[in-house]
Amino acid sequence: MTDWSWLVPLPVVLPLSAAGLALALYRRPRLQRIVSLATLTIVAVVSAALLVLADSGPVVVEVGDWAAPVGINLVADRLSALMLTVSSVVILCVLVYSLAQGREDGERFAPISIFHPTYLVLSAGVANAFLSGDLFNIYVGFEILLAASYVLITLSGTTERIRAGTIYVVVAILSSVLFLVAIAAVYAAVGTVNLAQLAIRLPEVDPGVRLVLQSMLLLAFGIKAAVFPLSAWLPDSYPTAPAPVTAVFAGLLTKVGVYAIIRTQTLLFPGGQLDDVLMWVALATMVVGILGAVAQDDIKRLLSFTLVSHIGYMVFGVALGSVHGWTAAIYYVAHHITVQTALFLVVGLVERFGGTTSLDRLGGLAKMTPVLAVLFFVPAMNLGGIPPLSGFLGKVGLLEAGVELGTPVGYALVVGSVVTSLLTLYALIKAWNKAFWQSPPEPLPAHHVPAHMVVPTAALVVVSLALTVFAGPLYAYTGRAAQSLAERRPYIEAVLPDGQRGEGESQHAADETDDHDTDGAATQDGGDR
Amino acid sequence: MSPNLVFVVTIAALFTVGVYLVLERSLTRILLGIVLLGNGTNLLILVAGGAAGSPPLVDVQSDRPMSDPLPQALILTAIVITLGLTAFLLAMAYRSWQLHHHDEVQDDVEDRRIVRLAARDERAFEDDDTESEGESLDEEAASARDETDEGEAFDGAPAERPPPRTDHTHGKEGR
């Protein structure tokens, strides 16, 4: 069998190199566009290939051929390959959308010489966070994508964006500091930051210490994922950015946090500690988030609140601690990335058409632009969980897993998620009635919406429908992903075949000198005594 | 192994002062707080490396104990990241000063609206949909100041207009 592992670093390396190239080409906007488009297309294809490859076992690359616990490794298992594929498709669609918007608005949309490199860096950061098999490298991935997101959210430095961006940046930096402190604590406890080795060593640590480490990691990831008590930064900061930026943030950035939570709860800290806490947190996130959405009269803010609320569903699935729960949670993540991004893109089009996103001022869009109406309606119903769309399937999976758990908390969450689902439907129907059906208080400007902005949005809506049509195979795939998460062994053995070292070059060096023990004599047993 | 007490005290001090500064309202002070927190974290990683021991490389013999190189690599990465973010935050603080003559981090706009409505004992929503105050949150945010409100410092330019640059940055310097 051909060794395809060289594909694994590409989603990180290609966009990073292309970002440099795009920056160097800042005088040639047309070339810049071609570079970004080509790169992200290749990344999407590579991710899809990894999705297939990872199905027959994790694909591991040891960067620089340094054997695993010493060097950094990238791992594409089913979970990360799936996340990577969905996110690269979304990133590609949003890029096409923003290219069209850039062509329409020129420099008013974004200084294009800045937008393209930053966007590529963001894509590299997301891929790095998903693929990394090393806790510190996940931190680096987070920083790459966050640094890019700081630039994107304050693009062109208007009053509003600086105001909202300040809060966003400060909160994100603080969560990163927290993450770093957690890494330091983990290193002090077990003397490694390699995920596979952590998975072997962490269970040996004193339960109290383990609980502290786990809570710190979850706290850091919880801020990034916008889980309820830590979510207040999100609804105020996202809506101010340009539509494509908000869309890609809403789709991806919080999901990176969710992905990290999944890894923490499955690979690093199996056994369901803190699952009960996460359950309550999930319930609070769902309910508080959706109550916020119901109260909004601005459609972008409304969607930001539904984003927070639906993070609760994913945390619910993770906290169930069963294969069924994880299956549904992973499926829900894939569904939610596409749907939420599509909705934000449509709202960008609505804003373009009507000149506002305030529900008090919009109206009559269904008659004026039936295309936008359809494009809004389908993902909105999908988010609300109307059968037979993918939102419904994901929610049913979660509900089944919740009932299967059978504890009072489980039932409370089942009820909570049904209520949240209904309230989501209510909030979106309210938005639909106000923006699309009622007559506008003042005539809308009815600006032209160019077709090449509608097409990528429509493409994303079609992708979200494809998640429904191909729900069978996809759900089976997430099921296998959840199964291997539960087993843990496939991941660990792929990285460290003998439980000690990977297969890189330094393994041979170690063999030659017949000295296996030099690896971490200084690094181990740091501070846990 | 027990960690060096000096380190521990320093880390504690850095974190305490850092947290205090992060709670301030001025972005510059928050930035200083973040720098201190970052340095505290770096020291923490260094302590996490533990005491010196045998060399970590194959074929290297050393008479004296060597320290663990991995935390140093981690710290170096973290320092570089903190440096970049510090520069970015400084640029944001400066931009904020250009726009508003202050670098204050504002309260959540919506929170403030709710507080104001509560103070006036009004409902947040009139049921007649279109009957709103006619001012969106964004517009409100543009003219709002929080604690350091001095009444006339901000001239109330609409949010989306390209900001006036030169005419503001001169003249009122050293406010």
What is the average per-residue pLDDT within B134-156? 53
Count CB atoms within 10 A of the CB of residue A267. Answer: 20
Under 8 Å CB pairs connecting chains A and B tally to 162
Report d(CA A7, CA A267) in Å as an integer.
24
Torsion sign (Cα): A151, A157, A161, A166: positive
Does position A256 have pLDDT exceeding 90, yes or no?
yes
Nearest CA in chain B to A192: B70
A516 in contact with B, Cβ within 8 Å: no
Place of tokens 């490859």: A53
Q: Tell me, yes or no, whether A457 lies in a domain.
A: yes
Counting residues of chain A whose pLDDT is more than 70, the rounded percentage is: 93
Bond preceding residue A388 cis, omega within 30 of 0: yes
Q: Tell me, yes or no, whether A17 lies in a domain.
A: no
Return the top range by mean pLDDT from A29-38, A508-517, B60-69: A29-38
Residue A96 counted as domain residue: no
Is residue A114 less than 8 Å (CB to CB) from chain B? Answer: no
Residue among B29, B81, B114 with most chain A CBs within 10 A, to mutate:
B81
Q: Which of A295, A520, A523 sits opposite B124 (nearest CB)?
A: A295
Q: How far is CA A133 from CA A75, A195, B88, in A?
A: 5, 5, 29
A523–B106 CB contact, under 8 Å: no
- Tell how far CA A419 is from the center of its chain: 25
pLDDT of residue A90: 93
Query: Which residue range forms the structural domain that includes residue A307?
Result: 274-469
Give the pLDDT confidence of A331-377 residue by residue, as tens digits: 999 999 999 999 999 998 888 888 888 888 888 787 888 888 899 99
Least confident range from A502-506, B126-130, B169-173: namely B169-173
Q: In total, how many domains does chain A have?
A: 1
Structure tokens at B151: 């009444």
* Residues A193-211 pLDDT 10s: 888 888 888 888 888 999 9
User: What pLDDT shows up at residue B140?
Assistant: 62
Tell me the pLDDT tens digit for each residue of B85-104.
999 999 998 988 888 888 88
Cβ contacts of A193 on chain B, cutoff 8 Å: 70, 74
What CA–CA distance (Å, rounded) separates A81 from A84? 5
Q: How far is A459 from chain B (nearest CA, A)?
A: 30
Respond yes or no on whether ipTM tops 0.90.
no
B41/A180 CB distance under 8 A = yes
3-state secondary structure of A117: helix
Mean pLDDT over each residue of chain A, to the nearest integer: 86
For the stretch A61-89, pLDDT in tens is 888 778 777 788 899 989 999 999 999 99
pLDDT digits (tens, 9 = 90+) for A204-243: 888 899 999 999 999 999 999 999 888 888 888 888 888 8
Q: Among B3, B65, B71, select the one facing A187 at the smallest CB separation.
A: B71
**Both tokens assigned to A455:** 């097409």
Contact A365, A353 (CB under 8 A): yes
Contacting residues for A312 by C-beta, under 8 A, at least 6 apart:
A227, A228, A281, A282, A283, A284, A285, A286, A287, A289, A417, A420
Residue B13 is predicted with a pLDDT of: 95
Residue B12: pLDDT over 90: yes
CB contact under 8 A, A518 and B58: yes
Residues 182-201 of A with CB under 8 A from B: 183-185, 187-188, 191, 193
pLDDT digits (tens, 9 = 90+) for A400-448: 999 988 888 889 999 999 999 999 999 999 888 888 888 877 777 777 8
**Phi, psi angles (nearest 5°) of residue A120:** -65, -40
Per-residue pLDDT of A460-518, as tens digits, reads 999 999 988 998 999 999 999 999 888 888 888 888 887 777 776 665 655 555 444 44
A191 belongs to a structural domain: no
* Structure confidence at residue A524 as a pLDDT band (50, 70, 90): very low
Q: Which of A150, A163, A176 sits opposite B88 (nearest CB)?
A: A150
Matching CATH number, B5-52+66-100, of 2.60.40, 1.10.10, 1.10.287, 1.10.30? 1.10.287
- The count of other CB atoms within 10 Å of the CB of residue A508 is 12
Determine the Cα–Cα distance for residues A501 and A507; give it in Å rounded to an integer: 7
Cross-chain residue pair B138–A160, CB shorter than 8 Å:
yes
**The two structure tokens encoding residue A327:** 């299956």
DSSP letter assigned to residue A226: T
Q: What is the reported pLDDT for A42?
A: 94
**Residue A231 maps to a domain:** no
| Chain B residues with beta carbon closer than 8 angstroms to that of A298 | 136-137
Answer whether A170 sits within 8 Å of B59, measured CB to CB: no
Which chain A residues are closer than 8 Å to B39 by Cβ?
none
Lowest-confidence range among A33-42, B41-50, B151-160? B151-160
The closest alpha carbon to A342, from A315, A296, A307, belongs to A307
Nearest to A160 among B89, B95, B141 (CB): B141
Assess A232–B contact: CB distance below 8 Å, yes or no. yes
Report the distance separating Cα A217 and Cα A63, nearest Å: 25
> Do A425 and A386 contact (CB within 8 A), yes or no?
yes
Q: Please answer whether residues A488 and B11 qualify as being in contact, where contact means their C-beta atoms are separated by less than 8 angstroms.
A: no
CA distance A301 to A295: 10
Residue A377 resides in a domain? yes
Strands A73-76, A59-62: parallel, antiparallel or unpaired by DSSP? antiparallel
- At A311, the pLDDT band (50, 70, 90 cuts) reads very high
Residue of A nearest to B110 (CA): A236
Q: What percent of chain B clears pLDDT 70, i.e. is strictly above it? A: 66
Instruction: Give the span between the Cα atoms of A435 and A455, in whole angstroms.
Output: 21
Closest partner CB to A181 (pick from B41, B56, B110): B41
| Amino acid at site A196 | A
- Domain range list for chain B: 5-52+66-100
What is the sign of the dihedral through the CA atoms of A395, A401, A406 and A410?
negative
Q: How confident is the model at residue A40 (pLDDT cuts 50, 70, 90)?
A: very high
pTM flag (> 0.95): no
Chain A residues in contact with B44 (beta carbon < 8 A): 181, 184-185
Mean residue pLDDT across chain B: 74
Asked if residue B165 has pLDDT above 60, the reply is no
Is there a contact between B136 and A298 if contact means CB atoms under 8 Å apart?
yes
Residue A356 covered by a domain: yes
pLDDT digits (tens, 9 = 90+) for A115-139: 889 999 999 999 999 999 899 999 9
Specify whether the CB–CB gap between A194 and A501 falls below 8 A: no
Helices marked H in A132-274: 135-153, 159-190, 195-201, 207-225, 233-237, 243-248, 254-263
